[in-house]
Structures are given as structure tokens and as C-alpha cells.
Chains A and B, each alone.
Chain A
Amino acid sequence: MEKFIEIFAQLNAYDIIQVVLWGLAGAMSFYFSIGNARVWTSISLGFFLIFLSQAYSINPWVHYYKLSAFHYIIGTVAIMVITHGFLEYYVFCRTFEISGKKVVVYMTTLLILAISGIFLLINPTPSPNTIRNIKMVENAIWVFLSVMNIELIRKIYVAIKDSTISRGFIAFGIVFFCIFLWKGSELYLQIFQWDMDWQYIIAMMTDEVSDIDKYPARVQFSQMISQYAGLVTSVSVGGTFFYMYRLLK
């Protein structure tokens, strides 16, 4: 409890707001998946997993490196599940084929997370540098798959633009644009070693020096984009699912 209070005291308002907003978005997306078509299950579950990946900010055991690494793995699984959902929706638009069961989606996702957990357990405790690498891989996957999802959503929208739900896909397009900015700016900072992890942990532990002082404007701008795009993304995800819920009511 003391640990939790200590961590909670270290949290800034931004972190708390972001986690709360992601919590609302996760709840909304999870609620949306109940009673809807199976294809929505992948998309909703993926967005719900983002909440779990973001919850590391308030996780009292986050100082355990393996748990910290698991948060980032959940984030990676989240975007993969979301992409799988949109890919299935796109396949449906082209072939009108729907297959599979909801329970398979839930169980497969759980299985992947379990295997990832086992992978972390049977391997040595990751160093801060390793955790940063995992985080960078997660961001890279998010950026790549966001661009891919934007293209998939564009194609889905073209196929169903005269149906009721088409405007919902415009909202999803906005969501992925926000995600692209959010994760892209983080990746940008990581690639040039301008991220907080590097500055506060790696740089202190090694002799390596970054050139952060030469580009303060770029760093500040990227940090601002990362911070606000993260907030806007969580709001847009919650809003999009609420909007979709109303469209499909």
C-alpha cells in the first residue's frame, strides 16, 4: 500500500488523466464488443488492451522490470489484434465472408499474452535498456500498423461509404492518425535518443552522450505531440466507440 501511495504521489495529472481516459475508452470498447459481430470483438478487445498497456503508470509493481516489459508487450499485442480485426472487416467488404467465433478471439489473445508472459519469466530480467528496446519495438509496430490501418480503413470506407456505419470509420481514421502522431513522436524521440528513458537511465548508466542539447525545439515539439496526441487518442477512441454504439443501436 505504501508503495502504491508512493507511486501515486509521483504521478502527474497528465498520467492520471490519460489512464482514466484510456480506462473509459477500454470500458466503452469492451462494452461495444458484447452482443456485436465477431469482427468487432478483435477491434474492441485490441483497444481494451491499450488501456491495460497504459495502466503501467498506476501499477504499484511497475518497478519489477519483467512486469514493466509485459505492459509493452500487451501494447504490441493490442495493435496486432486491432489490425487483425480491421483486416477481417476489409476481407468481409471484399468477399462478404465472415467466419470464426468470439471465444476463439478471446482465447487466442489470452494465449499470446500467456506465451509472452512465459517468455519473460523464463528469460533473464530485462535491463532498463532492454525494456527501452521493447518499448521502441512496440512503438515501431504501432507506427507501421497505424499507417496500414489508415489505408485499410480508407478502403473499407470506399466499400461501405453509403451505409450507416461508414462515418464511424472516418472516426477510426482520425483515431489512427492520432495514434500515428502519439506513437510516431515517441519513436522519433527514441530513435534519436532524445527520450526520457535514455536521458534519465541509459545516459546515466553509460558513457554515451546524446545530442539533445542541439535540437531543443524538435525535442520539445515531439514531447508535446506525444503528450497531447496520447490524450486526444484516448478521448477519440472512447468517442468513436460511443459513436459506433449509437450508429449500430
Chain B
Amino acid sequence: MFLLPKGNPLFENLAAGKLKLPEVMSKLSTGGFTGYASFIFQASTTILVFETGKLVSVLYEETNGNRETGFDAMSILVELMVTSASGTLNVYKLSKDLTMCIHALLQGEILYKAQELKLIDIKTLLDKIKSDQMNGCLRIYTSEHSAMIFYKDGNPLGFFHDGSHDIETSSSESQKIAGLPGAKIDLFSTQGVEELMGIDLLEVINIQKIWDAACAVHQSEINKTSKDREEREKKAVQLQLGELEEQLKVIVTEYLGKIGRGIVEKELTEQGNSAGLQNDAGSVKFLTSIERSAKLLIGATNIKAMMERLSAVITAAKSDI
């Protein structure tokens, strides 16, 4: 994503995850805002350009260079805001002319793209910009450096380059980059401010609807994830309870014989299955019932040993579950 001049910062580093896009749009729109808002996420940036409260362009760009504009860009932004907790919002106020140039840079007509500077007569190009009274942006860059010159009616509005935060009046940095080997240019043009004012994406795109739909989808995904997690946890608990039940049966059978399995099954059924052992009252009741049955089958010494083993197994299982 291009570095853009910061102009007059209104908000910086607001947590995007806590904001509601329809409300942000409404504020910027009703406030007659001119400038741009940038939503910066881990792997992408979205720029929204406003001219006197009208949303004139939206550009979404990923770090790998993939781009989307208009409705698609807005939809992706909404999804990111709803789902991501790490994004930030910056809002910068710019002059109308500069905003127009930013729009040109983002979504204007591409006259030259990655054109090697040494193959171009730069003087003739600058004369053409002037003579055609072009509105737009000339970007001069190498693999490591970049500078931009913004034009209105063919006259330079200012210069912007890497490392600076705002528009400068000096062209020295731009000239320096233009002199570097392998320097290239992009030239973007756009309509004048008046024409741009005719565009308002907020009238075309129902942000509230997109937002509500995204929230609903996100909520259903959260619910589904939550439900899946609950089911997984439930299954894990059931598995552990199943293992506990088998352990209890093995111990009781060891002392009482095969009738022990039936006694354990019956007592667990009365407790509401092995889940009933999770609370103290249930486990005490279970142990008491087993002891009462065991009195009919084995001696006191064996009952004591069996009860100690059962208690230990239940206690261990309780701490695990």
C-alpha cells in the first residue's frame, strides 16, 4: 500500500474491532469530512476517500498486492472489522484538491504503469501534464524508494515521499529518486473535484445492511464454533465418564464377582448415569449404595478395601473432568 500524506490527523490508532462501520461512515458523512480514513489490519489496508462527506472511493489492498474496490472492498472491510480484533483506524483531513489527488492515486485512470524512467522523456511528460491541465498523481519509485507529485489543473500541488508525513514544497527528493538507476513511474489521472462530488458510494452501498449481515454471519459462526467446542468438550467428558464407569465396574467385579457389573450399572442409572458422580452428593450416594449391596456378598475387610479404591478412582476422575 502506498504511503499517503497524513495532513491533519483527526483520529489515530483507534481499535477498529470496537467500532461500528455504519456509525463511523455516518459521522464522517454528516460532518462533511474531506480526507481519507485508513483501516490497517495485519495483512491488508483499506482506504476510504471522502470529499465533503461523500465517499468517493474505497480501496482494499492486501500485503501481497491483491486489490478490491467499491462494494467488494467495503464488504471485505466490514468482514474484517467484525471478525478481526487487531485492526486500527486512522482519519486524516486533507484539502479538497489533495483528496482528489489521493483518489486519483487509488482509483484514477492509469496512464502509465511501471514505466521505466530512462525510456521516457520526462520533460515532455511534465509539459503534457501541464498543457492538458491534468488532475492526478505522478509516482516515481525504485524498489526501495518512492515519491509522489500531486497535480491540479496541470500545476503541482506538492510533493510527498517515503519518510515524510506531509506534503512538501521541495521537489529535491523526487528528483533524487528519479535519478536512481531502475527508477520507474506511474501516472494516474482523475476528474476534477466538481465531477468527483457527483459520486457518493454511501448512496449506492447500504453499509448498514452489509454490516448487519456480516454481524449475523459472524455471530452464527461464533455460535457454531461455540456449539462445536461444547460438543467436543461434552464428548470428551462422556469419554472420561465412560472410562470411569468401566474402572468402577472392574473394581467392583474384582471384589463381588460378575454381579458387580450389574450393581454398578443399576446404581449409576439411579444417579443419572456416571455424570451424577461429578457432584459430591451423587458420589456419596453411589458409594453408600454399592457398600450396602456389597454387604450381601463380601466381608467387612474386603468392603473397606473396595470402597477405598472406588473413592480414589472417583476423586481422581473428578479432578480430571
Chain A contact residues, CB within 8 Å of chain B: 36-37, 39-40, 89, 92-93, 95-98, 159-166, 247-249
B302 within 8 Å of A by Cβ?
yes
Question: Assuming A95-B266, A98-B292, what are 18 further A-B pairs, CB within 8 angstroms?
Answer: A36-B295, A37-B292, A39-B296, A89-B296, A96-B263, A97-B266, A98-B293, A159-B259, A160-B257, A160-B259, A160-B297, A163-B256, A163-B259, A163-B297, A163-B298, A164-B257, A164-B299, A248-B298
Which A residues are CB-close (under 8 A) to B298? 163-165, 248
B258 within 8 Å of A by Cβ?
yes
Q: Contact mask B253-283 → A, CB, 8 Å, 1/0? A: 0001111001100110000000000000000
B301 touches A93 (CB 8 A): no
Please, how many angstroms separate the alpha-carbon atoms of A159 and B297 in the complex? 11
A37 touches B259 (CB 8 A): no
B266 touches A162 (CB 8 A): no
List 5 A-B pairs, minimum CB-CB distance, nearest first: A163-B257, A162-B257, A37-B295, A96-B266, A248-B299
Q: How large is the interface on B (under 10, 10 to 19, 20 to 34, 35 or more residues)?
A: 10 to 19
* Interchain CB contact (< 8 A) of A96 among B293, B300, B302: B293
* Interchain CB contact (< 8 A) of A164 among B263, B266, B302: B302
* Interchain CB contact (< 8 A) of B293 among A92, A161, A166, A248: A92
Chain B contact residues, CB within 8 Å of chain A: 256-259, 262-263, 266-267, 292-293, 295-302
Please, how many angstroms separate the alpha-carbon atoms of A159 and B263 in the complex? 12
Which A residues are CB-close (under 8 A) to B301? 249
Query: Can you list 20 A-B pairs with a CB-CB distance of less than 8 A?
Result: A89-B296, A92-B296, A98-B293, A159-B259, A160-B256, A160-B257, A160-B259, A161-B257, A163-B256, A163-B259, A163-B297, A163-B298, A164-B257, A164-B299, A166-B257, A248-B295, A248-B298, A248-B300, A249-B299, A249-B301
Which B residues are CB-close (under 8 A) to A98? 292-293, 296
For residue A97, which residue of chain B has the nearest CB? B266
Please, how many angstroms separate the alpha-carbon atoms of A36 and B295 in the complex? 7
Query: Smallest Cβ distance from B305 to chain A, in angstroms?
Result: 12
Please, how many angstroms separate the alpha-carbon atoms of A165 and B204 in the complex? 87
For residue A244, which residue of chain B has the nearest CB? B299
Please, how many angstroms separate the alpha-carbon atoms of A93 and B297 in the complex? 10
A249 touches B300 (CB 8 A): yes
Please, how many angstroms separate the alpha-carbon atoms of A69 and B299 in the complex? 40
